[in-house]
Amino acid sequence: MVFAQQSSSIRPATPLDPNRIRADFPILARHVRSGAPLAYLDSTATSQKPQQVLDAMDAYYRLQNANIHRGIHTLAEESTAAYESARARVAGFIGARDPRELIYTRNTTESINLVAQSWGRANLRPGDLIVLTEMEHHSNIVPWQMIAAQTGARIGWITVTEDGLLDLDSYARLLEQHPKIVGFAHMSNVLGTINPAREMIRLAHAAGALTVVDAAQSVPHFPVNVAELDADFYAFSSHKMCGPTGIGILYGKESLLEAMPPFLGGGDMIKRVQFDSFVPNELPHKFEAGTPAIAEAIGLGAAVDYLAEIGMDKVAAHEHALTDYALERLEEIPGVWVFGPEAVHKGGVASFKVDDIHAHDIAQVLDEYGIAVRAGHHCAMPLHEKFGIQSTARASFYLYTTFDEIDQLVEGIYKVKELFS
């Protein structure tokens, strides 16, 4: 039989009290399976939602529900004000200069597709180079493969080193070919690697390229300022940052968005329509066709308020302490292999293998003990292929994660090993 060893790892101090924060999240009080307390370690896939977000969305539907931008009655005016107020608060949260530079989308995936199909169709020509990294989520690969097929552009890849960092020498070689656009994740959803976004953007601009940053894993987890980064396009999702599903943000520099053709056609994205032509609306409405996710935008605004009140610097410090502790504890277990760089270079993600046990089996056994982790290729099949594996189990952490839950994970992995020994 396999037994867990007493940990010698020291729990570092963090600026947050996760037990106090957990009181805001009703779902974290749940027990699952055979009465085991829930240890939710899947926040990279989607975060849980605090009561403050649930209350804001409930209040909208109970007291304000109306369509926006079109009506002049009280409910329409209140709904419009709440919807646009949320946009302004999100803009402040990421350091955007003007709320008009924020486009509401359904998620990060739609945001990147918007850039690929609108900017890409207008600007890419046969032979033009698109630069991506080997650690990208499918959402920052497939849209560019699609537009490359449509336009005749080609894709070059920044390689990933064995320790899970980007090979910036390969990036420099690709920039010598004068690409049109560079796409990369600010933080990898598999490796946890936090990439040097500001430097990568600076180098891309020096080579004449624009940049599109997949920020799905950065905005929820550490302070971000798009103006300081000088990002051209920056995409992220509400549901990974304590907000609801079904809404995301595309930040784009005003001059770029103004020059891009509309992405979808229909109501509210037009200023004028005739039988033979139309004139698109002003930013940001130019890219927001049809009735939007109003309640979800209000929920995202409440999530931003919640995170801002806690302080993103504190969230980042807490997650770093958790990650450092988790990596130490996982390294204690024989047969566990954790992917990605050292804790100093990564966020709150630990993707791992256990002996030759399939990741789905690991996740299923852990679930019997109330431990929720992800299993699979995490929408990053090329990256897994690069490392010669089909799948990994992934534990991910957030502001409500505790050191006790990491200890639960370690105990659970020993139980997995015992079952399959």
Quote the tokens at residue 195: 């990439």
CA dihedral 118, 123, 128, 134 (to 10 degrees): -30
Q: Give the H/E segment covering residue 122.
A: helix 121-123
Q: How far apart are CA 251 and CA 211, in angstroms?
A: 12
| Count of positions (residues) in the chain | 421
Type of residue at 75? L
For 182, phi then psi, to 5°, come to -120, 125
Q: How far apart are CA 27 and CA 29, in angstroms?
A: 5
Looking at 33-187, which runs of residues are DSSP E strands?
A: 36-37, 39-40, 102-105, 129-133, 154-158, 181-185
Quote the tokens at residue 294: 């109003």
Residue whose C-alpha is closest to residue 336's, from 373, 379, 292:
373
Beta-bridge partners for 185: 214
**Is 379 noted as a catalytic residue in this protein?**
yes
Q: Which long-range contacts (CB under 8 A, 24 or more apart) does 18-25 make?
A: 18/318, 18/399, 18/400, 18/401, 18/402, 19/402, 21/310, 21/399, 21/400, 22/400, 22/402, 24/50, 24/51, 24/52, 24/306, 25/49, 25/50, 25/51, 25/400
Quote the tokens at residue 198: 């500001």
Choose the catalytic residue: 207, 379, 381, 389. 379
Q: How far apart are CA 383 and CA 365, in angstroms?
A: 25
Residues annotated as part of the active site: 379
